[in-house]
Chain A
Amino acid sequence: MALTYDDIGRIAHLARLELNPEQSERMLTRLNDFFGIVETMCAVDTQGVEPLPHPYAAIQDVALRLRDDVASEPDAREANQRSAPAVEDGLYLVPRVVE
């Protein structure tokens, strides 16, 4: 099923990406070209096959490793905010969302 121009708008919104009309046109063509080759994969009979989310799971059971829920990093606020777009009094400045 080919994507439509409306689909591109919907996906761009979900991805929070602004695309101009020319970019949307190009995206539509490229994605439809790509999904052409995906059809072969969709046609594979995978009945009874377990998904492989982690490559090592191909040979052994893999459980997500968790660490204790304790703070392990020192306070590095100044270093962390060095690359922030806008900071004031040690706080991140973000756009106003409630008028």
Chain B
Amino acid sequence: MSDLHDLTVAQLATKLKAREVSAVEAAHHFLARAKEHASLGAFLAQDEAVTLAQARAADARLARGDASPLLGVPVAHKDVFVTADFSTTAGSRMLQGYRSPFESTVTRKLSDSGMVCLGKLNCDEFAMGSANETSAYGQVRNPWDTTRVPGGSSGGSAAALAARLTPAATGTDTGGSIRQPSSFCNLTGIKPTYGRASRFGLIAYASSLDQAGPMARTAEDCALLLSALCGPDLDRDSTSLDVPAEDFSRALNDRLDGLRIGVPKEFISDGLAPDVRAAVDAALAELQKLGARLVEISLPRTELSIPVYYILSPAEASSNLARFDGVTFGHRAKDYTDLEDMYKKTRGEGFGDEVKRRIMTGTYVLSHGYYDAYYLQAQKVRRMIADDLQRAFQQCDVIAGPVAPTVARCIGECADDPLADYLADIYTLSASLAGLPAMSVPAGFGAHGMPVGLQLIGNYLQESKLLNVAHQLQQATDFHLRAPKGF
């Protein structure tokens, strides 16, 4: 059964339903692969007994003729979703060994759909990072070149998928954390409209931006997963949208004739590496062949999205991370003189450098005398950015462009220059600030044979349109089918 890991979610589900393979066999296969490739650093927690118990339960449902589309298919979750059966750390020393008393809505919904959990995946600490270099539990390596980063913050999800250690994974995207690692690892990943997927049980980084979504190898697989994990969660998440769950696979096969694809001129800028530009241009040309029409549009405040995001997200993070004080859960410093000293030492020891930097930034911009100049100003410019996008959607149906300015960089390359990573988020931040659905789809390969992703941004609730465009591109190209050597 050596080719089981090469199957897509849809293919594996078909085999499971036909009883050509059992959920237990599939679980064993992927658990063995995770062990074999443990040096990638993708998994943080696994429990064979729990996984196999879930697989046996899935097999029992299959035997009863249950036709749930994802029944028995393995999945692994980014370690920011709390899970009752596996520990949750958010990649932080602060939460080492933490076991949640409850289950996040997203993981519960996937579990209810019959998916079998393989474990928890490494990520940047509290999802703060663009390279999976800030996890307290070590670097994740990119299977396409293990000297390079997989992207972040959902880097463990991306590496595990690219290495065929799981057929599907969850991720979260605050400023691009599903799209950028998907691009760096030749995957398909979608961040739905803000509010589409529940944030209940998702360890918060920046609450007005965080959004859960699926990562897989094809648009078809992402559609299946998205259909299972989205939906209103009105009692548990005050930001959940009151929009009914839908079948995101319904438009996959629609033709692209007449589709207007807006290409922002600001995305094709001097900072874009020639190899990435070439791959993106080729993908756009392919979409034209499929009947789409390219329209030049302008998002004039693209560059401003960087300071706006890096003011707002730390502000929200500084508030969200105030709960990590060593009192009711998580790490507590051993030696202290009084309560305040305990807070300071606990937080000083428990958080990594990047998290401390963002807490400090957030605390400063929210502090007396600076709130208006930084935080309030950023919220106003955020509206201007969102308005620019709405104006753009009067000229086009979907926006397309690069995900990141370059292919995945080498590990440690930005160790002394975190600002360089911030600047590289330039193409993903606008959609995040506006809460729009956006995805990355494999578009080819650039320098050093590394993958390049095409970003697609849709208007609110237009996920099925994005998945349609991605699926049609994947019917015409084979980039998404290619695997890294040795995996």
Q: A-side interface residues toward B, CB under 8 Å?
A: 3, 7-8, 11-19, 23, 26-27, 30-31, 33-34, 37-38, 40-42, 44, 46, 49-56, 58-59, 64-67, 72, 76, 79-80, 82-86, 92, 94-97
Contact = CB atoms under 8 A, between A and B. Distances in A.
A56 B433 CA distance: 10
Interface in B361-379: 361, 363-364, 367, 373-374, 376-379
A16 B234 contact: no
Interface in B206-245: 208-209, 234-235, 238-239, 241
A55 B307 contact: no
B303 A11 contact: no
A82 B329 CA distance: 8
Contacts of B477: none
B348 interface: yes
Contacts of B340: 16
Contact of B377 (A8, A44, A97): A44
B360 interface: yes
A82 B418 contact: no
A11 B326 contact: no
A18 B348 contact: yes
Contact of A31 (B235, B238, B311, B361): B361
Contact of B327 (A34, A76, A92): A92
A69 B102 CA distance: 21
Nearest to B366: A14
Nearest to B333: A18
Given A17-B360, A51-B379, A41 B384 contact: no
Contacts of A54: 208, 239, 435
B238 A40 contact: no
B364 A46 contact: no
B479 interface: no
A11 B364 contact: yes
A25 to B, nearest CB: 13
Contacts of B360: 8, 11-12, 15, 17, 27, 31
A28 to B, nearest CB: 10
B98 A83 contact: yes
A40 to B, nearest CB: 6
Contact of B343 (A16, A56, A59, A84): A16
A19 B363 CA distance: 15
A78 to B, nearest CB: 8
A58 B238 contact: no
Given A14-B363, A31-B361, A41-B311, A67 B329 contact: no
